[in-house]
Amino acid sequence: MRIATWNVNSVRTRAERIVAFLDRQQVDVLAMQETKAADAKFPYDVFHDAGYEVAHVGYNQWNGVAIASRVGLSDVRDHFERQPSFAKKGEPVREARAVGANCGGVEVWSLYVPNGREIGDPHYDYKLQFLYSLQDTVRPGELQVLTGDFNIAPRDENVWDIDWFDGKTHVTEPERAAFQMLCETGLRQLEHEELYSFWDYKSARFQRNEGMLIDFQLATAPLAALATRVWVDVDERRGTGASDHAPVIAEYDTRGLDYDQVR
């Protein structure tokens, strides 16, 4: 089973490109983030025509997460337990940042962790609360993967120049500690040779290879043991109309798995 995670940065803008990627890489399950679409405006037909069922959570033109699967889609959840809400002003609301489903016997979560914006900003605290609350979702003994854009570079080598990030988010100790605590609940970060998964549109970052590794597949030990290959499809960051993120793909040897068992 091939599972991919990709911050697509607008699913309506890139729907045909996404489906072409699914075919080219023979992806069974795709977790998408930053779809930037309300549920009613998601391009379901494009995915259905390609043989994929879709679970999408989107309330407006911001955020948005989805799972597209051709190996089954059941037990869909539009948030995780104790998922925090946010509002800089007014009544806090739960944003479209998490969707989970059983896909062919594997519990898959597509997650768009808050950016944090700036140290000291209310969004920074919201980011930490999101990660702390997410720990309760982990089921260490089951086949489960938490995928998505975590907006954290866990190690110095996950950014092109750590000095450039001095005083900025994504690399602070509280963020890294929250990411590490999440992993310590029973998740393994699947490693790959490629250095980065994100290159900003600004300042020709991609052309200079000034990137960041902030997109991950965090698998429980039983699922991580089935991983045979993990890579970043850097080619999907090339060309006109590309997202600023590249997909992270993992291949799991699930032959013999009882697909009738959700957990």
What pLDDT was estimated at residue 263? 38
What pLDDT was estimated at residue 258? 61
* pTM over 0.75, yes/no: yes
Interacting residues of 164 by C-beta distance below 8 A, sequence separation 6+:
none
List the single range of 82-91, 142-151, 152-161 with lowest mean pLDDT: 82-91
Q: Domains along the chain?
A: 2-252 (3.60.10.10)
Identify the CA nearest to 144 among candidates 194, 202, 218: 218
Q: Which of 52, 78, 112, 126 is catalytic?
A: 112
Mean pLDDT of all residues in 233-245: 96
Task: Convert the pLDDT of each residue in 4-17 to its tens digit.
Answer: 999 999 999 999 99
Task: Convert the pLDDT of each residue in 30-70 to its tens digit.
Answer: 999 999 999 999 999 999 999 999 999 999 999 999 999 99
φ and ψ at 157, to 5 degrees? -75, -5
SS3 232: strand
Rg (CA), the chain: 17
161 in a known ligand binding site: no
* pLDDT over 80 at 227, yes or no: yes
60 in a known ligand binding site: no
Within 34-81, strands assigned E span: 53-57, 65-69, 74-77
Pairing of strands 144-149, 106-112: parallel
191 in a known ligand binding site: no
| 235 is an active site residue | no
